[in-house]
Amino acid sequence: MLAIETLSWMEMRKLSERLALAKTIKQLRIRNPDAVRLAHRLVCETVRRRNFIDKFANNALKPEAISEFQLGVQAFLRLYVYQTRIVKNWSKINVEEAENIAKLARSILGWRTLRKVEHVLGLLLTQKQASILEGVSDEEKFGLLTFHPTWFVRYCSRLLGRKEAIALLEANMNSPPTYIRLNTLKASENEVLEKLVEGGIKTEKVEGLEHAYEVRSAKQPLARTMSFREGLFYIQDKASCFAAEAANPKPEITVLDVCAAPGAKTTYLAQLMRNRGRIYSVDYSRRRMNVWRGETARMGVDNAIPIIADACNPLPIRTEADVVILDPPCTSTGAFGKLPSAKWRLTRRSVDKMAEIQWKMLNSCAENVKPGGALIYSTCSVTVEENEMLIERFLKWHPGYSLAEITPKMGLPGLRGLEKCLRLYPHIHQCNGFFIAKLSKK
């Protein structure tokens, strides 16, 4: 029931996996952590394969389509295909399990509701997966096999070439490794590592970054450990850690962190500044800034001030900062492995619309950098419209700025000749796809 309701909320409100699950847990008053973990895995893996599952279901439902049924039925059909066929690697058929799943769905949705699709449940158990690949183009076929929209397959092929595009899309079929950043505001790095070992968390240092570690294994969910509650570490992708380190913030300086919630960058900046100087953290969302307040308190941050404002407009702060960091909303095309639902909310037009929002924010932030200061721009997107093309446009409009070298050096040079910009890719760097540019103000 938890998984069906979560998928329904995602479809109805266009929520992410995490937000929809949190909403459902509160709605149904679920207290069992094992049930939550199972539902989260079911939801993420079903959503990851949504285009394949829908085409497979539509093949059995025709002339009807899965989208014509109410949200609860849609969610059930997707979960049914995932659990009875994909989990079994399309080979073994467990009729008893399928019947039990159908009985459970009847009790949740009502037998009258489920009766509309009962006639296809047997066919879904026996239909061959290869049947849906007949008569489709190469791009659509590869999109189905790697669980991506056809437009994105086409886009990546044009951007990176067929070989690299295939590697990127295949990497997105799985979640990237989990990374944490140790918090030296609370204890020394060695002390934190000792606490992690005591808590059954095994880690491996990320080469090139100061405090980032890959989690190799853990005896329980990281967010439920005592070390997490004590603020000894932050669950943060290494690409995000890289953005904070690239800003190179020193103690006593003034930093403007734009689009700061939920607090990953702010808490790392404060750590690198040893809680000295001042950080102004800006975000438009009151809900997200409430999370920011909780995270900064957990991590022991003393030098950050929250500001609720829309960065598309001039910021309500007159201070010129030594460093301005802008990590704007983006299409998250570099994070499809971690956030599979993002794939199905986007179209090719979404990229251009998002780039215009980013352009407004970038222009706005440029006014708050002091002479000799730096503006750091980063996204977890792989598109050039949100990254290199935006930086090219910015440099033409702002001749007082120039690209600067980024340290530490990670990833590959930017595209379109912007070699001082850096890119990370899921299939090469085992993290979210990422872009970063450092702009110096003369």
- pLDDT digit string, tens, across residues 67-92: 999 999 999 999 999 999 999 999 88
Predicted TM-score of the model (pTM): 0.94
Distance between CA atoms of residues 45 and 41, nearest Å: 6
* pLDDT band for position 30 (cuts 50, 70, 90): confident
Query: Residue 163's Cα: distance from chain center in Å?
Result: 24
- 32: confidence class by pLDDT, cuts 50, 70, 90: confident
Q: Are strands 369-379 and 434-441 parallel, antiparallel or unpaired?
A: antiparallel
- Residue 35 in contact with residue 6, Cβ under 8 Å? no
Confidence of residue 35 (pLDDT cuts 50, 70, 90): confident
Contact indicator for 101, 124 with CB cutoff of 8 Å:
no
Do residues 46 and 76 touch, judged by C-beta distance below 8 A? Answer: no
The CA distance from 320 to 368, in Å, is 5
132-153 burial, b for 16+ CB within 10 Å, e for fewer? beeeeeeebbbbbebbbbbbbb
Burial annotation 157-186 (CB, 10 A radius, 16+ → b, else e): beebeeeebbebbebbbeebebbbbbbbbb
Q: pLDDT per residue over 411-437, tens digit each?
A: 999 999 999 999 999 999 999 999 999
User: Would you state the pLDDT for residue 425?
Assistant: 98
Residues noted as catalytic: 380
Which residue segments constitute the domains of the chain, with CATH numbers given? 2-133 (1.10.940.10), 138-170 (no CATH), 179-235 (3.30.70.1170), 238-441 (3.40.50.150)
DSSP state of 82: I
What is each CA distance from 340 to 214, 415, 437, in whole angstroms? 21, 25, 26
Beta-strand (E) ranges in 162-295? 179-182, 201-205, 212-218, 233-235, 254-258, 278-283
pLDDT of residue 209: 97
pLDDT digits (tens, 9 = 90+) for 145-166: 999 999 999 999 999 999 999 9
Question: Residue 126's CB: how many other CB atoms inside 10 A?
Answer: 9
Orientation angle between helical segments 2-13 and 95-109, nearest 10 degrees: 60
- Examine the pLDDT at 342 and tell me if it is beyond 90: yes
Cβ partners under 8 Å of residue 125, min gap 6:
84, 85, 93, 95, 98
Q: Are 322 and 441 in contact (CB under 8 A)?
A: no
Supply 403's token pair.
């690209």
List Cβ<8 Å contacts ≥24 apart for 59-68: 59/127, 59/131, 59/132, 60/120, 60/123, 60/124, 60/127, 61/117, 61/120
In 3D, which of 125, 152, 212 has the Cα closest to residue 177? 212
pLDDT, one tens digit per residue, over 362-410 is 999 999 999 999 999 999 999 999 999 999 999 999 999 999 999 999 9
Q: What is the pLDDT of residues 247-271, one digit of tens each?
A: 999 999 999 999 999 999 999 999 9
pLDDT tens for residues 103-119?
999 999 998 999 999 99
